[in-house]
Structure 1
Amino acid sequence: MKATVAEQQTLLRLQEIDTRIAQLAHRLRALPQAAPLAELAAREDAVRRSRAEAVGVLEDAKAELGRIESDVQMVEARIARDGDRLTHTSSVKDVTALEAELVSLRKRLSDLEDQELVVMEKVEGAEGAVAAIDDERAAIAVEQQRLETERGEAASVIETEREHAVRDRGTVAAEVPEALLAFYEQRRERGAGVGAALLRQRTCGGCTITLTGNDLEQVRRAAPDEVVQCPECDRILVRTDESGL
């Protein structure tokens, strides 16, 4: 393939821009906020599971408290009913039976009230656990929002740089003949983003291999308008006064 010296050297400018665009894309993918945001997401997920468990404990405790409160109401109702019956009966047998039942009911009520206090404390503790988890989730959300804002601002700056670089690339690419540009793009795709490299002091800027022997002699003999490639990495070698030929 033939191309003027200027056209070949333009490839170096194009490569510089392409490298810059690739670097910006890498920076965009590797913003410093990404790792802590991922950690926060994992924490939030773990906290969310913990909250589900804590809510389950709270609901069980409330259900238990509800059952005890219902039992308390039933016993209190029976005490009131038996007390009323006691005041309205004149039968010694009924009085004896009612008094015995009231003793038993009051004992049952005392036991239920003791249980009620224990379960109320359990409910209070479970509510505190849920509240603490909610506070932690809120703190995580605040930190996530802060990092998201920082990431958005940083990404915006990088994206602006990338847009400028893409615009510059279009300008420089327009200076390269179509066939040479297509060949460069092919080499770049195969060469991990590097399609053209400067030959400096007989060393390829793409793979850092120093040309010797027949490889060096072939490059030396190539006409200035001949597009040459590195015998090692196959990238386009651009020759300048720095090439040491």
Structure 2
Amino acid sequence: MKASPDAQRRLLDLQAVDTALAQLAHRRKSLPELAEIEAVGRELAGLDDERVRAQVTVDDLDRDISRFEKDIEQVRTRKDRDQKRLDAGGALREIEGLQHELATLNRRQGELEDAELELMEQRETAEAALTEVQGRLDAANERRAAAERRRDEALADIAKEQEFKTSSRAPLAADLPADLVGLYDKIRLESGLGAALFQSGRCGGCRIELYGADLARVKAAEPDDVVRCEECRRIMVRTKESGL
């Protein structure tokens, strides 16, 4: 293929733009915020499971405490009823029976209240654990929101740069021979780099230094010959910096 030396030199400008676009695309996929958001997401999943377990514990204790309160209220109601009957007087046997039942109910009430108090202490501890895990959950949500804001800002900056680079690429490519751009694009899509400067006897694409017949081939090529590296097949652009 033939192309003027000037066109080949401007191919490096096109490659510079494409390299910048490739770097922006890589930066877009590898933003540190993406990894942070993913990590915090995993943390949030674990914290939410922990919060659910803590809430279940509190709910279970609330249910048990409510049951004890009902039992205690039933005992109190029974005591009030027996006390009224006792105050009303009656046969000695009935009075003794009521006194015995009241004593039994007092013991039962004490046992229930002690058990309820123990459950309430457990609930206080469980509530503190729930509050603590909720605090960690809220903090993790704030970290994720902050990371998402930074991600969005970075993506917006990248999008602006991509738009600028893309808009500058079109006139560069349009001003070059179509067959040269076609060859360049084909190589670039295969290897990521379509053209590179040949300098100091070395291909700028694969960084391999040429010797003997390979170097002689490059030196013997006409200025408008499009020379490709035998190793990486990229276009080697020759300029005054090539030292030929």
Map of 2:199 onto structure 1: 200
> Which letter does structure 2 place at the counterpart of 1:132?
E
- Does residue 178 (structure 1) correspond to residue 178 (structure 2)? The answer is yes
Instruction: Give the match's secondary structure for 2:106.
Output: helix
Map of 2:43 onto structure 1: 43
Shift of 1:170: 1.0
Map of 2:101 onto structure 1: 101
Instruction: Give the match's secondary structure for 1:197.
Output: strand
Q: How does the TM-score come out when normalised to structure 1? A: 0.94
Map of 2:210 onto structure 1: 211
Map of 1:163 onto structure 2: 163
> Which letter does structure 1 place at the counterpart of 2:189?
E
Map of 1:126 onto structure 2: 126
133-142 or 51-60: bigger deviation: 133-142
- Does residue 234 (structure 1) correspond to residue 233 (structure 2)? The answer is yes
Distance 1:12 1:148 in 2: 37
Map of 2:62 onto structure 1: 62
- Does residue 79 (structure 1) correspond to residue 82 (structure 2)? The answer is no
> Which letter does structure 2 place at the counterpart of 1:215?
D
Distance 2:171 2:162 in 1: 14
Shift of 1:150: 2.2
> Which letter does structure 2 place at the counterpart of 1:55?
Q
Gaps of 5+ in 2: none
Q: Which runs of 4+ in 1 moved over 6 A?
A: none
Equivalent residue pairs, number: 244
Question: What does the per-residue CA deviation read over 1:139-192, in whole Å, with 9 as the maximum and x for residues that have no partner?
Answer: 22222222222222222222211111111111211112222111111111221x
Question: What does the per-residue CA deviation read over 1:32-54, in whole Å, with 9 as the maximum and x for residues that have no partner?
Answer: 33333333222222211110110
Answer yes or no: is the 8 Å Cα contact 1:10–1:175 preserved in 2: no
Distance 2:174 2:181 in 1: 9
What is the CA RMSD across the aligned residues, in angstroms? 1.4
Distance 1:178 1:77 in 2: 99
Shift of 1:89: 4.1
Instruction: Give the match's secondary structure for 1:7.
Output: helix
